[in-house]
Amino acid sequence: MKRTPATFHVKSFGCQMNVYDGERMAELMTAEGMRAAEGAEDADLVILNTCHIREKATEKVYSDVGRLLKREDGTKPMIAIAGCVAQAEGEEIARRAKVDVVVGPQAYHRLPELVRTAGEGRLAVDTDMPAESKFSVLPARRKVAPSAFLTVQEGCDKFCTYCVVPYTRGAEVSRPFAAIVDEAKALVDAGAKEITLLGQNVNAWAGEDDGGRAVGLDGLIRVLDGIEGLARIRYTTSHPNDMSDGLIAAHGDVEKLMPFLHLPVQAGNDRILKAMNRSHSRDSYLRLLDRVRAVRPDIALSGDFIVGFPGESEAEFADTLTLIDAVGYAQAFSFKYSARPGTPAATMDGQVPAEVMDERLQRLQSAIARDQSAFNARSIGQRCDVLIERKGRRPGQMLGKSPWLQSVHIECDAAVGDMVTVDIVDSGPLSLAAVLVR
């Protein structure tokens, strides 16, 4: 029997690039004439846009598929596995879980065709990394949130020894300058006030401007700065080694570039950093942050940390804690090391026991929480702009973001998408409270 799904639902896991890809897949299916379902439970086609970064993330896919195949009403949706698990496991997923489509992150523009194949009862797998770019065939952006993502760079050539991204996303590729500027303008026309430029190594972006001159991310940001109606520019995620002088300078003089920098360091000990193949040292990282702070003293700093990398001793872990003390992060993400099949670290000696990792993660997270609370408390008394992103939980309450990416609660009648000026009056561990300046 031929199956033609009428409704779809996309569920994205993992990083912001997956969120972006998920939005583009939804736009693609809409352009095909399908409707967005209320949720995964009542969609004819469910696209699970997966993440492979840690074991837990990957296992989630299989439990989700299991749940979808046991719907209370007895219906069975067509299931497509997209994203990094699709790329890493390919047809293997179709064998392990009963799914209909497997599509990698560089091939999802071919989804409509794959869904048709699956509709005819054949397994549809596409994990190619084709030379043609998916971006050139995806439909135009139409309706977006006030804060929108824009992928400008994909893939990674860094090969940190613990990480699957170079394998799941392929080599570093920068999208062309003109295509990015066009998409940024389309996003602003569609309602975006803030654009976050995305890439696994976004600060490695390189291109040529309209005049054929070589430009880096800073040059691109300076051009986007000129787009009328765009109020804020952010970018993530950056690698310390690709932080150019120009990009640092941009933090000092590009008004729309927000005072926030997510710059993962992973660990504070040089031997561990070397074993991770991070190609920066503790010192070079700290000196880099000093230079950014010199041009933008109020910058909010963020990072990523891994605890329990193979061979990490207690003393080496303590170096990560002292690095955190030295930086004073405004926020940070931290993870227990997860051995990923096929990566060099997975077979290294000295795998750290789970309970040691648990204990280290707890200590690290309380240090981060302490600094985040302190950073938030220092915001009290500040006057700043907030971009309203959604309604708060309480009636009459709206939620937005400060320039430093803090969540701000405001009792006011502003609408989603408004930029309002506020005074920060209170702070908590994860958010701020503010009143409107009349």
Residues of the shown chain interacting with ligand SAH in the complex, contacts defined by CB under 6 A: 53-54, 156, 162-163, 165, 200-201, 237, 239, 264, 266, 304, 306, 335, 337-338, 340
Which of ligand F3S, ligand SF4, ligand SAH, none does 84 bind, CB closer than 5 to 8 A by kind?
A: ligand F3S
The interface region with ligand F3S, picked from 160-168, 299-307, 381-389, 425-433 by CB under 6 A, is: 160-168
Non-local CB neighbours of 279 within 8 Å, separated by 6+ positions: 158, 241
Distance, CA of 98 to CA of 91 (rounded, Å): 11
Distance, CA of 239 to CA of 260 (rounded, Å): 14
* Nearest distance in Å: CB 60, ligand F3S: 11
* Nearest distance in Å: CB 272, ligand SF4: 14
Which of ligand SF4, ligand F3S, ligand SAH, none does 134 bind, CB closer than 5 to 8 A by kind?
A: none
Structure tokens of 211? 């005049």
Which of ligand SF4, ligand SAH, ligand F3S, none does 338 bind, CB closer than 5 to 8 A by kind?
A: ligand SAH
Q: Order of strands, edge to edge, in the sheet holding 147-151?
A: 147-151, 194-198, 232-236
Which of ligand SAH, ligand F3S, ligand SF4, none does 52 bind, CB closer than 5 to 8 A by kind?
A: ligand F3S
> Hey, CA dihedral for 34, 89, 352, 328, is it positive or negative?
negative
Which of ligand SAH, ligand SF4, ligand F3S, none does 402 bind, CB closer than 5 to 8 A by kind?
A: none
* Nearest distance in Å: CB 308, ligand SAH: 9
* Nearest distance in Å: CB 202, ligand F3S: 12
> Hey, CA dihedral for 175, 170, 54, 259, is it positive or negative?
negative
The 10 Å Cβ neighbour count of residue 249 is: 15
- 168 part of the interface to ligand F3S, by CB under 6 A: yes
The interface region with ligand F3S, picked from 15-23, 216-224, 286-294, 400-408 by CB under 6 A, is: 15-23
Distance, CA of 235 to CA of 91 (rounded, Å): 34
> Please, which residue, 80 or 165, has the CB nearer to ligand F3S?
165
What angle, rounded to 10 degrees, do the helices at 111-119 and 16-31 form?
60
Strand, helix or coil for residue 363:
helix
* Nearest distance in Å: CB 373, ligand F3S: 27
Q: ∠152-157-159 over CA atoms, to 5°?
A: 130
Which of ligand F3S, ligand SAH, ligand SF4, none does 288 bind, CB closer than 5 to 8 A by kind?
A: none
Applying CB under 6 A, the residues found at the interface with ligand SF4 are 156, 158-160, 163, 165-166, 200-201, 239
> Please, which residue, 34 or 306, has the CB nearer to ligand SF4?
306
Which of ligand F3S, ligand SF4, ligand SAH, none does 340 bind, CB closer than 5 to 8 A by kind?
A: ligand SAH
Strand, helix or coil for residue 188:
helix
Structure tokens of 322? 């002292």
The interface region with ligand F3S, picked from 142-150, 161-169, 282-290, 320-328 by CB under 6 A, is: 161-169
Distance, CA of 99 to CA of 51 (rounded, Å): 17
Distance, CA of 179 to CA of 210 (rounded, Å): 11
The interface region with ligand F3S, picked from 13-21, 123-131, 184-192, 299-307 by CB under 6 A, is: 13-21
* Nearest distance in Å: CB 241, ligand SAH: 10
- CB-based burial, 45-82: b 16+ in 10 Å, e otherwise: bbbbbbbbbbeebbebbeebbeebeeeeeeeebbbbbb
